[in-house]
Each structure stands twice: as structure tokens, then as C-alpha cells.
């Protein structure tokens, strides 16, 4: 896995962001690069080039980014020297994708000689060109082709693709084919920011660096798994995109399935070092082992919801789902018969992302005359709001006169346990792009395997023409989501 350190030998990069004035760039990408600048990890010759349709010169773009840094970087991390150094790296090009002259300007800027005695640290003659495509996936292919036509792509170049990659399996393959005409698979970094979260990476360390968990991490000991990603915000501000995607395409097909894979995957031979594909190989096996959800199984094992004010927020009636809950199974030796419950939604009661691994009850009640209550042991992985882990156990309540059982938790909060800030997910992933480490990025076969599993669910919803179940903002979602578990004697843990 990737860990940042002040002495990283990063190459010089020309980091070009298509969509350089968009929300993602200003809220996540540039603040992430700023943190690397603050740690003095960026090579002196690295440049950051924002590309958009806005008529901004370099000075105007630098003003825009400065404002964004003050809006999105914690106040105690703002250092005048670091801000100044980052701002001086910035350039902006107003580019119309259909205007050849605009592309000539980009060609001229990227072909400029960089005045430095050593630009890359890798023996190459120029900076590593990184192209971050924070635009719609329909533009991925045309942009890559244009870059190739201009001779801007070489063996060291890299391209970063933001989700969603296509809207279904066919369009995903078309996008990947178009990008693959220009970039080799090793040069393509498909980003899922959930994989860059500290708690997600710690899940692998917890599983595979601690011997006491792995022997009980299977169907003999695990009762079920719950994965929840809930949001309090609605779709306002990105309604055009969200109404085309919905919760299944926006969240389940990528984020939630990736989390499921990390919980269910077999131990890779190695994690880190040069074994970049070891983790991705194991995740792919999980995706291919998912029990298909088709036809009546979709009606039985999925719930679609929509919060009641959604149409009002986006300005028109819609049948797009803003909430999904579903029951999945991994059909392999380790997980046969263990249900994985996934749910995600907008306008819910809490903003949280958690994984709950719930273990089975003890096979024999050794304290039949005890007082108090017991709950199944479980491991909670918190990705937000407070990154960390909890191991829930049953303990004896202190005091004489008999045994009183009481649920207790062993709590690991990363903020309390380590005197060090947890880097933002994008900050970590951008660092890995510059280092050329693809472990935390999705491979093409992973993306397409995820689409192959989710597409029949979407098609069944469309065939049935049943509208999403309505739920009120600020609640835990549709009541039918609770029924999904209740019919098997289970309940959702926490409050979404």
C-alpha cells in the first residue's frame, strides 16, 4: 500500500487537469496537491495546468485556486510559503475541444523546455505527463485521441479517469476501448476515492497483519456483513448528472462493490512493493463470484427509494433512485451462504460510511443465569465521520453478586491513536499517480465485472416500471430496506 513520507523521490510532472475549474478540481484535487506541496514532496519542476472552457489567463486561474485553497484547506494547514509555491506552478488554458488552435496552445505549453538540471529523477528527458480527466466519460476517448495526435503521449505518460466510466457495460467497454487505443492498461488510473481512505487501507492491514482475525473471517464464524454509505445532502448542484445516473450507477457499481471486495477478497501474496496487481486480482475474483441478481431475485433482494423533495430540487418529476439497499452473496468456499447487505442514499439522517462484520453467536450459553444483555461480536470499520475501528465484545459489568453481561467496545480512533493527520483520499491517490503505483486504482476488468453484475438489476427495474419507494428527508430511508433484513431476523446497525 502507499504511505506518504517527506523524502519521497517524486518525478517532475506536467499535471494537466481537464475540468480544471470544476468543483472536483477546486474542492479536492488542488487542495490535495497543495498538501503535497506543503510537505515539500513535489519536484521543483512540476507544473499544474488547468484546462477548461473558462476565459481565464494564468493570473485569473491563480486567483480562483487561491480562493479555493482558503475555502477547502483547514486553516491550520494554510502556510503562506506553500500557497505561494503551489500558485506559481499553475497555468490555465481556455480550450474548446473542437478548436484545433486551442489544442495547439496546449501542445506548445507541454512541449516547452523545463529549466532544471534534472526533471524527472528517472533518467527521462522531460517531465512525466499526467492527464486527469475530470470531465464526462463521453469525452475520455476524444481527449486521449487528440493528445496522441499531438504527440503528447509517451511510454511514461499517465491518464486518470474519474467515475462513472460509461453508463452501462457496453458504454464502459466503448470508453475503455477508446482510451486503450492511446494508453496501455498500465498507464490508465481509474480512480475510486474510497480506496484512498485511511480506514479502507487499514482494513487490509487489520485482516492480514493480525493473525487472530483471519481464521474466523469466513462463513463458519461470520453471520453477515453490512456496508453503509449514507449522505445528508441531496442532489442539488449536480442534478443533471445524478438524474441520469442514480444511486446504483453513482455509488453501488463502484464505491460499495469495491468495499465489498476488500472485505471478501482472499489474502493476496503481497500488498505493496512491486506486486501492484495482487490486490486487484483478488478483488476481481470476488466480483466474478457474486451471485447474479436477475428477474424475480431483483424484486425480492433490492429496494429502490427516492426522497420526497427530489423532484422539487432538480426541477422536474423523476423516477431516478436516490436510495438503494440490496442483498448480495459471494459464491465461493469462504463466503457461501453469508449475506452482504449494501445500502446507500441521499438526504438521510446521518453522513456516515461504515462496514459492519457481524459474527455468529457463541454455540453454547455458558452463563444461563446471568443478567444483562448480549449482542453478537462485530467489527465496525468507520470511514466517516471519525475514521477508525471498533471491536464489539461482551464483558462482565463490574461489581459483586453475580454476573451481569454488558456490551463493550474496543475503540481505535485514528485521530486519537496517531499523532498525525490522515491524508485526504484524493491527496493519497494523486501521490500514487505521480509515483506510478496502480494498486488503489481499478483495472479495466474490475470495472466491467462490476457493470456486468449491476446492469441486470437496472434493467429489471426498468422493465418492471415500478417507481421508487418514497422516503422523507432526514430519515433512515424506506421502510422496505428494514424489511430486507427483518425477514431473515436481522436489523441494520447504526442509523443511516
Q: Indicate whether 124 pLDDT > 60.
A: no
pLDDT, one tens digit per residue, over 141-164 is 999 999 999 999 999 999 999 888
| For helices 58-72 and 30-38, angle between their N-to-C axes, nearest 10 degrees | 80
278: its cell numbers: 495482487
pTM over 0.85: yes
- Mean pLDDT across 430-441: 91
Dist. CA 447–CA 165, nearest whole Å? 8
Measured CA to CA, the distance from residue 56 to residue 21 in angstroms comes to 10
Grid-cell match 503535497, residue found:
36
pLDDT at position 368, please? Answer: 63
What was the pLDDT predicted at 5?
Answer: 43
Q: Distance (Å, rounded) from C-alpha 69 to C-alpha 48?
A: 15
> What is the pLDDT at residue 6?
41
Nearest one of 400, 396, 406 to 372, comparing CA atoms = 406
- Give the pLDDT mean for 261-270: 90
Among 183-187, 269-273, 344-348, the least confident range: 269-273
C-alpha torsion angle, residues 296, 357, 219, 265 (rounded to 10): 90
How far apart, in Å, do the first and last CA atoms of the chain sit? 30
Average pLDDT over residues 272-291: 87
Which pLDDT tens digit goes with each residue over 437-480? Answer: 898 899 999 999 999 999 999 999 999 888 999 999 999 999 99
Which of 142-158 are b and which e, b meaning 16 or more Cβ less than 10 Å from the residue's Cβ?
Answer: ebbebbeebebbeebbb
- Residue range 89-120, pLDDT digits in tens: 999 999 987 788 889 889 999 987 544 434 44
**Residue 250 DSSP label:** I
Residue 117: per-residue pLDDT: 38
**What pLDDT score does 367 carry?**
64
Q: What is the pLDDT of residue 396?
A: 73
pLDDT of residue 195: 86
Q: Is 255 a catalytic site residue? A: yes
Of all residues in the chain, the percent with pLDDT exceeding 70 is: 91
Query: Quick one: average pLDDT of 404-421?
Result: 77
Predicted confidence at residue 478, as pLDDT, reads 96
pLDDT digits (tens, 9 = 90+) for 176-206: 999 999 999 999 999 988 888 888 888 888 8
Q: State mean pLDDT over 303-314.
A: 94
User: Does the structure show a pLDDT above 70 at 24?
Assistant: yes
Segment 43-67 mean pLDDT: 94
- Which residues face 14 on adjacent strands? 47, 129
Instruction: Say which range, 35-44, 408-417, 441-450, has the weakest mean pLDDT.
Output: 408-417
**pLDDT of res. 13:** 94
Q: Which residue has the higher pLDDT, 281 or 363?
A: 281
Alpha-carbon separation of residue 30 from 69, 88, 139, 196, 445 (angstroms): 8, 13, 22, 16, 30
* Residue-averaged pLDDT of the chain: 88
pLDDT in the model for residue 258: 94
pLDDT band at residue 416 under the 50/70/90 scheme: confident
pLDDT at 174 exceeding the cut of 50: yes
Q: Of the listed 255, 276, 369, 472, which one is catalytic?
A: 255
Amino acid at each position: 500500500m502507499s504511505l506518504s513520507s517527506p523524502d519521497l523521490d517524486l518525478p517532475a510532472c506536467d499535471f494537466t487537469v481537464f475540468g480544471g475549474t470544476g468543483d472536483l478540481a477546486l474542492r479536492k484535487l488542488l487542495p490535495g496537491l497543495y498538501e503535497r506541496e506543503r510537505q515539500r514532496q513535489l519536484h521543483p519542476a512540476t507544473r499544474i495546468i488547468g484546462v477548461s472552457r473558462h476565459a481565464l489567463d494564468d493570473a485569473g486561474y491563480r486567483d480562483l485556486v487561491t480562493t479555493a485553497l482558503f475555502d477547502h484547506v483547514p486553516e491550520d494547514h494554510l502556510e503562506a510559503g506553500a500557497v505561494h509555491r503551489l500558485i506559481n506552478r499553475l497555468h490555465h488554458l481556455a480550450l474548446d475541444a473542437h478548436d484545433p488552435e486551442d489544442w495547439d496552445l496546449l501542445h506548445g505549453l507541454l512541449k516547452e523546455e523545463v529549466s532544471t538540471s534534472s526533471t524527472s529523477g528517472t533518467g527521462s528527458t522531460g517531465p512525466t505527463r499526467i492527464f486527469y480527466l475530470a470531465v464526462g466519460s463521453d469525452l475520455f476517448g476524444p481527449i486521449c485521441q487528440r493528445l496522441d495526435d499531438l504527440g503528447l503521449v509517451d511510454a511514461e505518460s499517465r491518464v486518470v479517469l474519474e467515475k462513472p466510466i460509461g453508463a452501462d457495460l457496453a458504454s464502459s467497454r466503448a470508453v475503455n476501448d477508446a482510451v486503450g487505443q492511446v494508453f496501455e492498461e498500465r498507464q490508465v488510473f481509474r480512480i475510486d476515492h474510497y480506496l484512498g481512505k485511511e480506514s479502507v487501507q487499514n482494513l487490509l492491514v487489520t485482516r492480514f497483519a493480525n493473525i487472530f482475525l483471519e481464521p474466523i473471517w469466513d462463513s463458519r464464524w461470520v453471520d453477515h456483513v453490512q456496508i453503509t454509505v449514507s449522505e445528508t445532502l441531496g442532489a442539488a448542484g449536480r442534478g443533471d448528472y445524478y438524474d441520469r445516473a442514480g444511486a446504483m450507477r453513482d455509488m453501488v457499481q463502484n464505491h460499495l462493490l469495491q468495499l465489498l471486495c476488500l472485505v471478501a477478497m482472499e489474502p493476496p501474496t503481497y500488498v505493496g512493493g512491486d506486486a501492484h496487481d495482487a490486490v486487484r486480482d483478488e478483488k476481481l475474483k470476488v466480483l466474478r463470484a457474486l451471485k447474479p441478481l436477475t428477474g424475480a431475485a431483483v424484486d425480492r433482494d433490492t429496494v429502490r427509494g427516492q426522497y420526497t423533495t427530489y423532484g422539487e430540487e432538480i426541477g422536474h418529476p423523476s423516477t431516478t433512485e436516490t436510495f438503494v439497499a440490496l442483498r448480495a452473496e459471494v459464491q465461493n468456499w469462504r463466503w457461501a451462504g453469508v449475506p452482504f447487505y449494501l445500502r446507500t442514499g441521499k438526504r438521510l439522517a446521518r453522513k456516515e460510511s461504515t462496514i459492519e462484520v457481524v459474527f455468529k453467536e457463541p454455540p453454547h450459553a455458558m452463563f444461563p443465569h446471568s443478567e444483562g444483555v448480549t449482542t453478537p461480536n462485530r467489527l465496525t470499520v468507520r470511514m466517516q465521520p471519525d475514521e477508525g475501528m471498533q471491536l464489539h465484545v461482551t464483558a462482565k459489568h463490574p461489581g459483586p453478586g453475580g454476573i451481569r453481561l454488558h456490551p463493550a467496545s474496543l475503540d481505535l480512533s485514528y485521530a486519537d491513536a496517531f499523532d498525525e493527520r490522515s491524508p485526504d483520499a484524493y491527496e493519497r491517490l494523486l501521490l500514487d499517480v505521480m509515483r506510478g503505483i496502480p494498486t488503489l486504482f481499478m483495472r479495466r476488468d474490475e470495472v466491467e465485472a462490476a457493470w456486468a453484475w449491476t446492469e441486470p438489476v437496472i434493467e429489471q427495474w426498468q422493465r418492471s416500471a415500478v417507481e421508487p419507494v418514497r422516503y422523507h428527508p432526514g430519515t433512515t430511508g424506506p421502510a422496505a430496506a428494514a424489511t430486507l433484513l427483518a425477514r431473515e431476523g436481522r436489523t441494520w446497525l447504526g442509523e443511516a
